[in-house]
A and B are shown apart, each in its own frame.
Chain A
């Protein structure tokens, strides 16, 4: 193992880490919105809306992230209609394609996490709100959503780490994220161990930080029953 090489490639890998983090943060943000939206659809009583939301989460949880990424990056460009529309500006960029794919994917998992959180909220809270004359809408926004988010913190922490690992797939559609930089080093130097182990250490470090942040949040805002 060539320690000097590992140190010398570190700065370029850090550049990649910045892109990895950007991808992670933006897809987690959009994913959370999508997940919340579909979780609300899932607890709807209308069977049609319910089935639609279930189908969405089934598709994105049942197929590999790589397929979804390829479908969006290579597949959408194939539709004449999309190519002529204003959306072309977005879907011709691999960066945006990656964010779309990751957001939809993490949105599906998040919707499942939030749904189970909504369903496990104790009846008593809702009944208490009702008996105090709080309207349904305010009960939902002020009681159900905050409790659901607090309850799903541990599972959501896992989802963030899974997504961090998922962003490495962006490298196969030419994005120079941490994984992409590591691949470049491997191609240039023919030293796979140094390149990938250094990248692995950075990934582990990120996982460690995310894990601890979630743990801290859990302690601070976690829901004690």
Chain B
């Protein structure tokens, strides 16, 4: 147990901050995913063939390749791409992109693909009458989306978004391969320096279980709150 104490001798504080890092990356990735989803959901639902294909390509490709591949591509490829752009502007030094940003972006792209599917399903399940009623009232298309469709879409997608959140939370463990110190990386370091991998990976498993358990509780609260009127 002294291995988990706070301070210089134990790994308690390191693991605590690593947990906060995992939460931070997950929230950042989820937010980035929402941005992607809000861009690609209209594309997937659009009647224009080209836009449709773009939307479908995004979700199909991202959901069809391993998460690790996206992370590696961004982590190794991202540095090269940024350095290439910098060299056009006359800077030839080595640039390292922050591991947090690449990690959150990579996981965000992945969770965005899942969120897109969730949003698409939610919009399709909104009653047709809602669209027609707002049209009859002469509401503009853009306002119709923001004031009528979006609020209902968000309510309908909470249960499925909670699944996406769980997937995102677990996917952040993969960022550890790029060196960002979150739960997995910290346990790896601790296990290496104390030669007690069984203990530290068990602690990591428990931390993830606590995170998923707590987030389920919070999401259930949210769900019952948003479903009050129904």
Contact = CB atoms under 8 A, between A and B. Distances in A.
Interface string A191-211: 011001101100110011000
A71 B201 contact: yes
B173 A192 contact: no
A192 B74 CA distance: 9
A186 B76 contact: yes
A29 B112 CA distance: 31
Q: Lowest 10 A-B CB distances belong to which pairs?
A: A192-B76, A168-B66, A74-B197, A64-B173, A75-B198, A207-B64, A64-B170, A165-B66, A78-B198, A192-B77
Given A63-B170, A172-B68, A207-B65, 11 more contacts: A63-B204, A64-B170, A64-B184, A65-B170, A66-B176, A71-B201, A74-B197, A74-B201, A76-B198, A169-B174, A203-B65
B204 to A, nearest CB: 5
The range of chain B's interface size is 35 or more
A191 to B, nearest CB: 9
Contacts of B60: 204
Contact of A67 (B61, B66, B205): B205
12 contacts: A62-B208, A64-B208, A66-B184, A70-B201, A71-B201, A75-B197, A77-B197, A168-B68, A200-B65, A200-B69, A203-B64, A204-B60
Contacts of B68: 168-169, 171-172, 179
B213 A62 contact: yes
B8 to A, nearest CB: 24
Nearest to B68: A168
A202 to B, nearest CB: 9
A34 interface: no
A179 B208 contact: no
Contacts of B69: 168, 179, 182, 196, 199-200, 203
B177 interface: yes
A169 B184 CA distance: 14
B188 interface: yes
B67 A165 contact: yes
Contacts of A179: 66, 68-69
Interface centre among B63, B66, B197, by most chain A C-beta atoms within 10 angstroms, is B66
B196 interface: yes
Contacts of A92: none
B66 A75 contact: no
B170 A186 contact: no
B201 A67 contact: yes
A164 B209 CA distance: 24
B197 A70 contact: yes
Interface in A43-78: 58-59, 62-68, 70-71, 74-78
Contacts of A59: 205, 209
Contact of B204 (A67, A166, A196): A67
B202 interface: yes
B191 A74 contact: yes
A169 B71 CA distance: 12
B80 interface: yes
B124 interface: no
B11 interface: no
Nearest to B184: A66
Nearest to A158: B63
Interface centre among A59, A192, A193, by most chain B C-beta atoms within 10 angstroms, is A192
Contacts of A186: 72, 76
Contacts of B170: 63-65
Nearest to A66: B173
A67 B80 CA distance: 30
A43 B30 CA distance: 35
A183 interface: yes
A188 to B, nearest CB: 13
B218 interface: no
B223 interface: no
A87 interface: no
Contacts of B205: 59, 63, 67-68, 71
